[in-house]
Amino acid sequence: MQLDSFKRTLGENGIDFLLNEPMKNHTSFKIGGNADVFVSARDEEQLLTLFAAAKEYDVPVFILGKGSNLLVSDKGIEGAVVYLGNMDGITVKGEEIICESGASLCAVCVKAKENSLTGLEFAYGIPGTVGGGLYMNAGAYGSEMKNIVVKADYITPDGCKGSMELEDMKLGYRTSVFKLNEKIITRVYFKLKKGEDKEIQAKMNELISRRKEKQPLEYPSAGSTFKRPEGYFAGALIQQSGLMGKRIGGAMVSEKHAGFVINYENANCEDVTRLIDYIRQKVLSDSGVNLETEVIFVGRK
């Protein structure tokens, strides 16, 4: 890994970057050691330039949106973290909304409401980006991304550009083809329907109220810690095992919703990892169900 040469190329091409940037400043968990290089890309051309440099100088790259579903190692992330949050353009064309991948889901929901478009209300309050939402096939309250997405543009680390139709995305429960390949989502196309402003706003208000009432939004977390096991609810299983309020270090099982591990008091990655392992072992012992994490672990081991 030739970091100095990589950084020099970034500078020569006007690409913004920071050195040894704490990842806890860029994740909803507020946890994580330093990224060697934290790069803020403004457009596809900058992405293509930095990917070419990363390939030439053997620098590993991790793509970051809002950091809302991540647990980053206390030892940080090797190489370059590429932040897409500045690629956040949103365009409305009739009943279609075209978004750059760094646009926040909440911002897109508001734009849809402003244009009397319905179908995205379920995503209001999901604290991620459009790209991250498609990557995970984010869903809530009976709907998910696959119900409204029609196409996505992408680039690859070797500089190729392309588009993918919905039927090729293999969207399933918290998964997509993008988790299995190296294609980086750059733009997402939504197909919505005309609706009534007041009804759309009322639905958004209802769902955000339900989130605030039932989820521990007052504490840093990565959202739901575990996937929903077939035939069960992870939160209910954890609650049945008597684990609400269980703490390891600064990490705690939320007393409001057992499906959330929260950063209760200056938790680090090790605290959260140990608590997750404890929960999985206890639920497996008590209920015979093997919980799978929804949170993505990244960084140095």
Residue pair 81/89 in contact by the 8 Å Cβ criterion: no
Tallying the residues shown for the chain, one arrives at: 301
Separation CA 52–CA 264 (nearest Å): 41
Separation CA 276–CA 269 (nearest Å): 11
Establish whether 174 is a catalytic residue: yes
Q: Which of 101, 221, 224, 241 is catalytic?
A: 224
Report which DSSP code applies to 280. Answer: H
Question: Helix-strand-coil percent breakdown of the chain, rounded to 5?
Answer: 35, 30, 40
Q: Which of 101, 174, 176, 187 is catalytic?
A: 174
Of residues 237, 226, 215, 229, the one with CA closest to residue 276: 226
Separation CA 164–CA 271 (nearest Å): 39
Establish whether 294 is a catalytic residue: yes
Q: Quick one: CA dihedral 2, 3, 5, 9, positive or negative?
A: positive
Assign residue 170 a region (left: φ > 0; alpha: ψ between -120 and 50; beta: otherwise). Answer: left
Q: Which of 21, 100, 121, 294 is catalytic?
A: 294
Residue with tokens 């994580």: 32
CA neighbours closer than 13 Å in the CB half-sphere of residue 241: 24
Catalytic residue positions, numbered = 174, 224, 294
